[in-house]
Structure 1
């Protein structure tokens, strides 16, 4: 059955639709149609949803029905709306788009984009030798069934040793290998969060984590992060834990995605103590913990302050090594790992043995690989900062001392409009609203520095040109980013 959005709901999503930059000279109907296309581009308005009747939307927006009629007509002409007499109108996409395997909409004629939607590096040169070595190790596993729900022992030992080296004593029994960090989060949510449970997250936060929480029908409350360091307001964060008493809190304390903030050690200790006092389990995402820059010294792991098995840590190979190697892990108490393994059997049984063997060899070379990654990321970050300072000096950026992303505060609420427009000049962006829950964050944009310097500088040049075009009243065409990671 087709879902429906009511007039008041769509009005809230549209917000100040008539005041968007670049639309001040447009007729109201064109501005309204463009705003609806923007909601589709952001993913805030799903495909196949029935829009409110023209009269209902007109009343909700306090505009004439004629304006809504003209806007709907323009949306039909651009291929974003289908209507049938007696059945209403529902959202769709133009014929030049298709559904990708991710479930997101991508252009059929997708060009060679500078993709700033994905915050991940290309594979390191050490990957191929690691893969060859893994293939040589594989025969000793071929005599068994190949199912290892918690992961092969070599990899669990390597991950446990890495935690121990960081000052968090860990045994292999406390490690469960997963198919990436996102899979780790999904399994933890299956175990620790009943449908409808309350979860506290940072705002902004990682879009795919928000999607996983939504899939569990979680009731999400947020703690807003400041642009400036350290980002977290200790009193507000701890106060939210005490007042909301969520079942779960999902935090990214190490170079937070997307802001790049690093949570101070004293706050980590206080968060763990408060979580224990109110009965909240903490899911700590350490995806970027291996990537401090500028000689930044990392605080102890959040779980180092845990004495009551309240902290479940997730991490993986995607950011320091390669996203195509789908290896992640969960660090928890041994009983929790066993419960996760029992829950996993109904989902995917186990991670591929060959991929795990590749991970073992990469982790053995981790010091050299990660050192090279840090040097590469430092140079690329500095080049991106310099390009932004030169071409877009009105934008405000806090320099991150780790991770792979900048969180830029723009000179207006234009993030989604800018992302749509830059698609036309070959740059794919992740607009601010993707990192929130309610369509806010339009003044912000995540910019990863994971591409080569030349690509980053060229991307900023194109973004700057489009930014100035928005003020001249240009009307960007609709396109949809393929993946945000």
Structure 2
């Protein structure tokens, strides 16, 4: 089946997605084939995407056209591409060899193994979601006689979100809250309002990959500031603010995704002073703020040091459930009102029932979160112990919160490990997914959102995948490389 009218990906964009596909070996059609195949299985090259012309891709990658032609031939032979004279080539899926995962993307059926998904750091819903839904349905009766539109968010939900900020030391009125369809939606609204094409957005490196896509989607340029062991290099961050003059900064001070680092109170005050001097607005992503596993008082919100320079975004996805698809934005009231006006170009608000459900959950949030934090801490420790037993050469820092370990696997083989892991029934996200320019190949992110028995089994399978990679590296080449 073909898709001759599907979307097109340029050679430059495909090269960005491929990252360092040949960094640790001589370029070959087999290597390029494996990396393109992984992009398809990962969902980053959807079926129907028209591939670049051979000459364009060869020039962009700096390889011979013969190598690219052989790669396309391999893709066609394995069912991952089709070609038609005059129409070019496009991505397909091999019939019967792939199945959709519960969280998106396509992966080969691992011989007799159920896929264990470690690509998503997303916990399942607590039982309280069902109970909150039952209570919300009673509240819904009061709503259905009205029009059902709340462009800024349901008043009850905004009030309860504002109350949680106030209890954390950041006095907040409901008028300062905008309810959105997730934190990603909130960030997209900020980018749309504040950033023009060609402007710069400062980001941590590594960082949350979907935010990078949102930045590039506005034709803005991400400017990376590397994370250092233990957290942030504020001197380097200040120098970058001064030299690049970014319009916006996107930062994750609470259990940074993927490193798990937590910014202390003194550094938050210093950060805000830097932002004020450089006239840069910061978007502070607090998606993981509730996943604090320390049991101690968290640092005050960044916005408590300077409200005019900070827009805070949050989400229900980690604390409660991603299926609610609800997030929010906290900012000065005039900024929120501008967002509400600009939002009308995209949507007219969030579903009422889900907002009522979240309002019910927030009414009893501490009891729910206390139990979930104990569960997450036990899973974190279980994953760390399993890695120590089965993959002792891997190194990582056990974080005080968040939902994942950021593992150094000891060699630049992250993307190859992802493909080997898929063959053993484990879905992974390579470190390169979190990088601005395709580096971080010596890293993988391992979430601990799944039950403990799944985590242990996943690590056992990963150990087998690592062993298989070592055997392949030690074996002689079975065919000549095409350059």
For structure 2, the residue ranges without an aligned partner over 5 or more in a row are 1-6, 475-483
- Alpha-carbon distance, 1:243 to partner: 1.2
Q: Supply the distance in 2 between the matched residues of 1:188 and 1:310 (Cα, whole angstroms).
A: 13
Residues 18, 36 of structure 2: 8 Å contact kept: no
**Distance change >3 Å, CA 239–CA 2, structure 1 → 2:** same
**Distance change >3 Å, CA 100–CA 244, structure 1 → 2:** farther
How do residues 382-393 of structure 1 correspond to structure 2 at under 5 angstroms? 382-393=381-392
The secondary structure found in structure 2 opposite 1:177 is: strand
Q: Supply the distance in 2 between the matched residues of 1:341 and 1:98 (Cα, whole angstroms).
A: 42
Residues 57, 68 of structure 1: 8 Å contact kept: no
Q: TM-score, normalised by structure 1?
A: 0.87
- Alpha-carbon distance, 1:371 to partner: 0.4
Q: Which residue of 1 aligns with 2:143?
A: 141
1:5 corresponds to 2:4:
no
Q: Which residue of 2 aligns with 1:17?
A: 22
The secondary structure found in structure 2 opposite 1:384 is: helix
- Alpha-carbon distance, 1:455 to partner: 0.4
**Distance change >3 Å, CA 365–CA 2, structure 1 → 2:** closer
Residues 160, 175 of structure 1: 8 Å contact kept: yes
**Distance change >3 Å, CA 59–CA 188, structure 1 → 2:** closer
The secondary structure found in structure 2 opposite 1:441 is: coil
Q: Supply the distance in 2 between the matched residues of 1:78 and 1:115 (Cα, whole angstroms).
A: 24
Q: Which residue of 1 aligns with 2:238?
A: 238
Q: Supply the distance in 1 between the matched residues of 2:23 and 2:222 (Cα, whole angstroms).
A: 30
Post-superposition CA distance 1:105-154 (Å, at most 9, x none): 42586974211111111111111111111111112222211111111211
The secondary structure found in structure 2 opposite 1:442 is: coil
- Alpha-carbon distance, 1:30 to partner: 2.8
- Alpha-carbon distance, 1:292 to partner: 1.1
1:195 corresponds to 2:197:
yes
How do residues 131-280 of structure 1 correspond to structure 2 at under 5 angstroms? 131-226=133-228, 228-229=229-230, 231-280=231-280
Post-superposition CA distance 1:380-428 (Å, at most 9, x none): 0000000001111111101100111110011211111111121222211
**Distance change >3 Å, CA 53–CA 134, structure 1 → 2:** same
Post-superposition CA distance 1:138-174 (Å, at most 9, x none): 1222221111111121111111111010000111111
The secondary structure found in structure 1 opposite 2:121 is: coil
Please provide the CA RMSD for this pair: 3.0
**Distance change >3 Å, CA 195–CA 102, structure 1 → 2:** farther
Q: Supply the distance in 2 between the matched residues of 1:327 and 1:43 (Cα, whole angstroms).
A: 23
Residues 14, 36 of structure 1: 8 Å contact kept: no
Q: TM-score, normalised by structure 2?
A: 0.88
For structure 1, the residue ranges without an aligned partner over 5 or more in a row are 476-485
The secondary structure found in structure 2 opposite 1:294 is: coil
**Distance change >3 Å, CA 350–CA 93, structure 1 → 2:** same
Residues 203, 223 of structure 1: 8 Å contact kept: yes
- Alpha-carbon distance, 1:84 to partner: 4.3
Post-superposition CA distance 1:246-292 (Å, at most 9, x none): 11000000001111100121221122121122121100000111111
Post-superposition CA distance 1:42-70 (Å, at most 9, x none): 67777422143399559933x6x655554
How do residues 22-421 of structure 1 correspond to structure 2 at under 5 angstroms? 28-38=28-38, 40=40, 47-53=49-55, 56=58, 60-61=62-63, 69-85=69-85, 89=89, 91-96=91-96, 105-107=105-107, 112-226=114-228, 228-229=229-230, 231-307=231-307, 309-421=308-420
Residues 11, 57 of structure 1: 8 Å contact kept: no
- Alpha-carbon distance, 1:80 to partner: 3.3
Residues 411, 443 of structure 1: 8 Å contact kept: yes
- Alpha-carbon distance, 1:367 to partner: 0.8
Residues 177, 328 of structure 1: 8 Å contact kept: yes
**Distance change >3 Å, CA 436–CA 128, structure 1 → 2:** same
Q: Supply the distance in 2 between the matched residues of 1:311 and 1:144 (Cα, whole angstroms).
A: 35
Residues 265, 299 of structure 1: 8 Å contact kept: yes
The count of corresponding residues between Structure 1 and Structure 2 is 464
Q: Supply the distance in 2 between the matched residues of 1:12 and 1:289 (Cα, whole angstroms).
A: 30
Q: Supply the distance in 2 between the matched residues of 1:393 and 1:120 (Cα, whole angstroms).
A: 26
Q: Supply the distance in 1 between the matched residues of 2:135 and 2:377 (Cα, whole angstroms).
A: 30
- Alpha-carbon distance, 1:75 to partner: 2.8
73-82 or 269-278, which deviates more: 73-82
Q: Supply the distance in 1 between the matched residues of 2:192 and 2:66 (Cα, whole angstroms).
A: 48
**Distance change >3 Å, CA 306–CA 100, structure 1 → 2:** farther
**Distance change >3 Å, CA 100–CA 187, structure 1 → 2:** farther
Q: Supply the distance in 1 between the matched residues of 2:143 and 2:56 (Cα, whole angstroms).
A: 64
The secondary structure found in structure 1 opposite 2:123 is: coil
